[in-house]
Each structure stands twice: as structure tokens, then as C-alpha cells.
Amino acid sequence: MTWPYKDLIAIHDLKREEIATILDMASSFKEISKRDIKKVPTLRGKTVVLLFYEPSTRTRLSFELAAKRLSADTTALSASGSSFTKGETIMDAAYNVMAMAPDCIVVRYPYAGIPRKMAQLLPCSVINAGDGYHEHPTQALLDMFTMKERFGTLDGLRVAIVGDIMHSRVARSNVYGLRKMGARVVLVAPKTLLPPGVDTWGVDVSAELDPVIPDADVIMMLRVQKERLNRQFFSGDREYSFFYGLNRARVEKMKTDAVIMHPGPMNRGVEITCDAADSARSMILDQVENGVAIRMTLLYLSLGGSVNVD
Ligand code: CP
């Protein structure tokens, strides 16, 4: 079959073969960013609009660079600089953007469901750049690509995802994707930062970090998403860091070839110390580099590039 989607809303929607195809294709797109002239004409004449109604450094910049490296035109809008501040709804904004004939809208929004609603109602491609606690599919794809580059396969890999699982769209997308690709996932968090129903996710769960470390191939640390906390979920940063932070002592207990990942932004000194974040095991900047390649792949596929998915 050929790639069947105009949109990318959730890893939950993708089959194992489709994820495998995206990861395979990303290697050739990555090569473009290593050239002196980092630009190919593939999407010349296409227009990509970035609607970011939440702050972003990595996702927004890498989508913009990805589109530009494929020769698409880009323009970006953030909530603070838009008529959202005058009361205009996101869907009204989307219809107005659509009237200007974009080929693709990349959208980040603080609540779940808006990217799917746009995909259903608009004729252009829609890519979810993160919606509330729901999903961050491009992040999970770049994370899986980074792991596959390092280990050769995701099958059988032991991945620990540590921290604020409850509020993390990154955790959800990674759990869905990693399980489809045959990895074994363990979620590590205080009970207050685990979502209801996590026992149905098909993953192991641990309230303690230390026993998980020696078995993990990948330790993915998550930021505590204070902007989403509407009450006290733990007693303070120092206690959180003591029980759940990745520090030098814990890094020394990792397997010889195990790696550290973090989707960013990091809160250094809370979930991860500088020792850990800047250690030779850290793949945090590899993740950022790979974000451009994954987003080039997805823009190519969403804007008409075809590929066989067997
Ligand atoms: N990982 C991630 O989504 O980072 P940004 O919020 O900076 O885009």
C-alpha cells in the first residue's frame, strides 16, 4: 500500500509498518542537513503555516527548518501575536488561515483534540505539534529514530520513561510507538504523577527509579510540567530530585552502553543534573538534530510524497 494520510495527528493511528517506513526514510532526509547547501527543491511552491498556541523552541524551529530545507515557504503565528488575544477561537483562526491557501498547517495547542478537529474540517494537511496531554507524535518519531540509530533496532529494547507521566504527551506518544515497535517500556513516577488507567497501557510501572536503572537501555527523563499542575503533586523540587532525578551516582549504575534522553526543555537540577545531561551517554542534542530529519520526512509524506509501506 502507499502512504495513506494527509495528516499526522497521533502515533496511536499509525501501524508498525508505517512507523518503520518513516524511520527508514528519515535517514536520507538527515543527510541533506549535513551538506554545504542544505536545500532540495522537493516542496518548492508549497506553503507551510506554523500555528503555535503554546511556547516552543525545538518543535517550532525544526519544523520551520525542515520546511525551508525542502524549499517550502513558511510563515508562523503564535498566540500572543495573534487575534487569539482579542478572543478569536483557534478554529476561526484556522478557517482564516485556510482562506490563504496553505498546503499544510502545523499546530500546537494547549488542549487535546484541536489538531484532529482541524484535520477533519480543513482540506490541507494538518500535523500535530503537541496537543495538551494527548500526543506529540513527531517527538516520539524523532525519539524512536534516535534509539534505532543508536541500537539498530527497537525490538526488545528496554526503555524507562521517568517523571511526570500524567501530564506528558511525549510519554503517551512514545508508549504507543515503542510498544508497536517491540520495545519494552517501564514508566517510573510517583503515584500522583501517573494517569488513571495506566495499568491498561501494556507497560511496567515502578514507583522507584533505582531498581529500574541497571536494566534500562534508554532512560528518558521528563520535565515536571509545572504549567499544567493545578495542585501540589509532590512535596518539592529537592525531594522530587532525590527520588526521581538522574544524577551522577545513578548514571554510574547504568548499563555500559545505555543512553540518556530528554525531549527538552530540561529543568537542570530538578529531573536531571548537569553531570547527567552533559555526559557522554546523553543523546539529547542528537534528538534535536534528528527532529529536523523526522519533520522533513513528515512534511514530504503529508504534502504528496508517496512511498510503499509493506
Ligand atoms: N520537545 C519539545 O516539544 O520541545 P519544545 O517545547 O521546545 O518544542
**CATH no. for residue 93?**
3.40.50.1370
**Is residue 4 in a domain?**
no
Q: How far is the CA of 175 from the centre of ligand 1 (A)?
A: 18
Cis peptide before 265 (omega within 30 of 0): yes
Coil/strand/helix, residue 144: helix
**225 in the same domain as 146:** yes
Beta bridge partners of 160: 186, 219
The backbone torsions φ and ψ at residue 193, rounded to the nearest 5 degrees and listed phi first, read -110, 20
CA of 108 to the centre of ligand 1 (A): 10
Same domain (yes/no): 56, 115: yes
Burial 118-157 (b: 16+ CB within 10 A, else e): bbeebebbbbbbbbbbbbbbbbbbbbbbbbbbebeebeeb
2-33 burial, b if ≥16 CB within 10 A, otherwise e?
Answer: ebeebbbbbbeebeeebbbbbbebbeebbebb
- Does 214 reside within a domain? yes
**In a shared domain, residues 65 and 23:** yes
Q: Which residues contact 61 (CB under 8 A, 6 or more apart)?
A: none
Q: Is residue 255 part of a domain?
A: yes
Domains identified in the chain, total number:
2
Asked if 125 and 163 sit in the same domain, the reply is: no
Q: Are residues 266 and 212 in the same domain?
A: yes
Return the C-alpha cell found at 158: 528496554
170 and 248 share one domain:
yes
Q: How far apart are CA 183 and CA 44, in angstroms?
A: 38
Q: Is residue 181 part of a domain?
A: yes
Q: Which domain holds residue 149?
A: 137-284
Same domain, 143 and 257: yes
- 125 part of a folded domain: yes
Q: Nearest C-alpha to atom 3 of ligand 1 is from which residue? A: 59
What integer pLDDT is reported at residue 307 of this predicted model?
61
Within a domain: residue 1? Answer: no
Shared-domain flag, residues 220 and 183: yes
> In angstroms, what is the C-alpha Rg of the chain?
19
- What's the whole-model pTM score? 0.95
Q: For each successive 10 residues of the chain (310 residues), what is the average pLDDT?
A: 80 97 96 96 96 97 98 96 94 97 98 98 98 97 98 98 96 98 98 94 97 98 78 78 97 98 96 97 98 98 71
Same domain, 159 and 260: yes
Instruction: Answer for the pair 76, 64: CB distance below 8 angstroms, yes or no.
Output: yes
Residue 139 Cα to ligand 1 middle (Å): 8
Residues 88 and 101 in one domain: yes
Output the pLDDT for position 1.
45
Ligand 1 atom with the shortest distance to the CA of 291? 1
- Same domain for 63 and 146: no
